[in-house]
């Protein structure tokens, strides 16, 4: 078990992490490249940067964006995202691992904070899961993966919490730690190939929207030629 854990924490982690970074880089560059190509083709090059930036900014701190009608659901979702980013990134134990292996470190959140944030994130994930089930609009739209993702994201949080806060036997500790690490790694691998890619793509949505409304200058002619509609009456 121990060697397996070492393997999972060491080479496997590096592999998965690299896959995630490369995958996200790929998807991000594809997106940016597509935006650039569309922009090149567009007849109108003016860009409403003020609007784009202000709307993108609003979504970074979506206080203004809390849905009036789905208040609870919306707040839960926002907090869940915050927990999802903050806990793994600012957990002392994680930072220490980074320091030990690559030598970089950054400020960590105090123990009490990460403790409560972890619990909060778990509760929020469960509530979102329930939300998707009980809100009829959300239930209708949800695909299998939307539920599975919540469960998968829950796993490293729950196991991480068990390992760092509960008094358990070393064997159980290793077992839960292994699940913690492996589930985290599975998430890493899946991120670039799933809807979670929105973590890097969503900030571009406002630019996408602005550029998508900019059309190439000769649409009529080109499409008529392709569809054999030249000179056809309306």
| Interaction site with other proteins (CB under 8 A) | 27, 30-31, 34-35, 37-38, 41-46, 48, 51, 55, 59, 62, 65, 67-70, 73-74, 77, 135-138, 140-143, 146, 195, 197-198, 201-202, 204-206, 208-209, 211-220, 222-224, 226-227, 233-234
Closer to other proteins by Cβ: residue 31 or 109? 31
3-class secondary structure, 41: helix
CB of residue 213 to other proteins, shortest distance in Å = 7
Q: 194 near 150, Cβ under 8 Å?
A: no
Give me the least distance between CB of 157 and other proteins, in Å please: 19
The residues near 12 (Cβ < 8 Å, ≥ 6 apart) are: 181, 185
State the residue for tokens 């907090």: 79
Count CA within 13 A, CB hemisphere, residue 101: 11
Nearest Cα to Cα of residue 128 among 163, 84, 159: 84
Q: Which is nearer to other proteins, 170 or 233 (CB)?
A: 233
* Between 81 and 94, CB nearer to other proteins: 81
CB of 206 to other proteins, least distance (A): 6
CA torsion, points 187, 56, 130, 73, in degrees to nearest 10?
160
29 touches 205 (CB < 8 A):
no
Looking at the Cβ atoms of 136 and 170, the one nearer to other proteins is: 136
- Smallest separation (angstroms) from other proteins to the CB of 175: 32
- Whichever of 59 and 115 has its CB closer to other proteins, that residue is 59
Token pair for 4: 């397996």
Nearest residue (CB) to other proteins, 23 versus 160: 23
Q: Tell me whether residue 55 or residue 94 sits nearer to other proteins (CB atom).
A: 55
Closest CB 19 distance from other proteins, rounded Å:
17
Cα distance between residue 59 and residue 78, in whole Å: 10
Q: According to the 3-state scheme, what is the secondary structure of 132-144?
A: HHHCHHHHHHCCH
> From the CB of 34, what's the least distance to other proteins, in Å?
4
CA distance 229 to 222: 10
Q: Are 201 and 36 in contact (CB under 8 A)?
A: no
Q: How far is the CB of 152 from other proteins (least distance, A)?
A: 15
């Amino acid at each position: 078990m121990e060697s397996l854990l070492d393997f999972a924490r060491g080479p496997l982690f590096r592999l998965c992490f690299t896959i995630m970074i490369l995958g996200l880089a790929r998807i991000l560059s594809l997106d940016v490249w597509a935006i650039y190509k569309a922009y090149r083709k567009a007849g109108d090059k003016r860009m409403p940067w003020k609007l784009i930036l202000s709307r993108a900014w609003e979504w970074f701190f979506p206080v203004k964006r809390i849905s009036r009608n789905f208040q609870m659901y919306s707040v839960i979702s926002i907090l869940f995202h915050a927990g999802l980013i903050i806990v793994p990134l600012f957990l002392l134990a994680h930072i220490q691992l980074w320091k030990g292996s690559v030598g970089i470190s950054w400020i960590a959140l105090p123990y009490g904070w990460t403790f409560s944030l972890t619990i909060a994130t778990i509760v929020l994930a469960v509530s979102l899961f329930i939300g998707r089930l009980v809100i009829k609009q959300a239930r209708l739209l949800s695909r299998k993966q939307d539920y599975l993702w919540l469960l998968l994201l829950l796993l490293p949080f729950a196991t991480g919490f068990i390992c760092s806060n509960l008094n358990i036997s070393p064997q159980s500790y290793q077992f839960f730690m292994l699940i913690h690490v492996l589930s985290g790694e599975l998430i890493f691998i899946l991120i670039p190939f799933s809807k979670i890619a929105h973590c890097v793509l969503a900030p571009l949505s406002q630019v996408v929207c602005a550029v998508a409304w900019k059309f190439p200058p000769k649409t009529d002619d080109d499409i008529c030629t392709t569809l054999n509609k030249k000179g056809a009456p309306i």
